[in-house]
Amino acid sequence: MSKILIVEDEEKIARFVELELKHEGNQVTKAFDGRTGLDKAMEEDFDLVLLDIMLPELSGIEVLRRLRQKKDTPVIMLTARDAVMDKVAGLDAGADDYITKPFAIEELLARIRVALKKRVVTAAPSAEEAGTSKAIVIREVSLNEESHEVLCKGERLELTNREFELLRVLMVNKNIVMSRDKLMNLVCGYDYMGETNVIDVYVRYIRTKLDDKFGIKFITTVRGVGYVIRDEK
């Protein structure tokens, strides 16, 4: 069970998301304006905050900015379609992710799961991360973060820097479905304004060099969400 705060002035949306989150076993608190939202986020320790940008009293960006001075609670911003500047401002102010309204509830739930698991990963480094060896091994593939070497069945792969970085991010976050936006942010940087289908292109390149060549299915596509590498086939 996670404690989630929804800050959203459109009560219909807030209530709908609340019901879905409760249905998944979470504890939900709502706030309908920025100031109340900020107060609640400061007072209580939430596992996640869903924060609308266009809010009365205080904007979502301002709420986030003030929250970040004190706390690193994961925040997913809710933005209007095509509000690119809002997304950039939100990420600059320290948002962990954003989702564009109107959104499919399944996508939001998937993003929330990623944000919550991501937090666990950050909090407790895996044995591979904590150890002296910088090699991450999943199934047939081993990736060495220091030597930038990727081996499959003992054979070395020739990857570009971006391909390597994308593979590394997916392997570090194994079993977590990563959205295209998230991958874009992690692989290309927050300020990268390209299309998210760039990620699809990189995945295709990696599959040509890895999956196709070695006859394995390493990167799994999760329709409507993104990609994942699972440690079991």
In angstroms, the CA 35 to CA 159 distance is 48
Shortest Å, Cβ 60 to Ca ion: 8
Asked if 178 and 203 touch (Cβ cutoff 8 Å), the reply is no
Compose the 174-213 pattern: x for residues touching Ca ion by CB under 5 A, - for all others: ----------------------------------------
Q: Is 54 in the site for Ca ion (CB under 5 A)?
A: yes
Q: Is 9 in the site for Ca ion (CB under 5 A)?
A: yes
Query: Which residues on neighbouring strands pair with residue 97, listed in sequence order?
Result: 76
Shortest Å, Cβ 29 to Ca ion: 17
- Interface with Ca ion (CB under 5 A), residue from 47, 52, 97, 163: 52
Q: Is 145 in the site for Ca ion (CB under 5 A)?
A: no
- Taking each continuous run of H as one helix and of E as one strand, the counts in the chain are 10, 12
Using the contact rule CB under 5 A, the part of the chain among 8-16, 37-45, 66-74, 175-183 near Ca ion is: 8-16
In angstroms, the CA 67 to CA 84 distance is 22
Residue 107 DSSP label? H
Q: Is 86 in the site for Ca ion (CB under 5 A)?
A: no
- Given the complex with Ca ion, which of 9 and 165 has the nearer CB atom? 9
Using the contact rule CB under 5 A, the part of the chain among 50-58, 147-155, 192-200, 225-233 near Ca ion is: 50-58
Size of the site for Ca ion (CB under 5 A): 3
Using the contact rule CB under 5 A, the part of the chain among 4-12, 84-92, 131-139, 145-153 near Ca ion is: 4-12
Q: Is 57 in the site for Ca ion (CB under 5 A)?
A: no
In angstroms, the CA 151 to CA 68 distance is 40
Structure tokens at 224: 């409507």
Q: How far from each other are the two terminal CA atoms of the chain, in whole angstroms?
A: 28
Q: Which amino acid is at 27?
A: Q
Q: Among the residues of 135-208, which ranges form H helices?
A: 161-172, 180-188, 197-207
User: Which residues bind to Ca ion, rule: CB under 5 A?
Assistant: 9, 52, 54
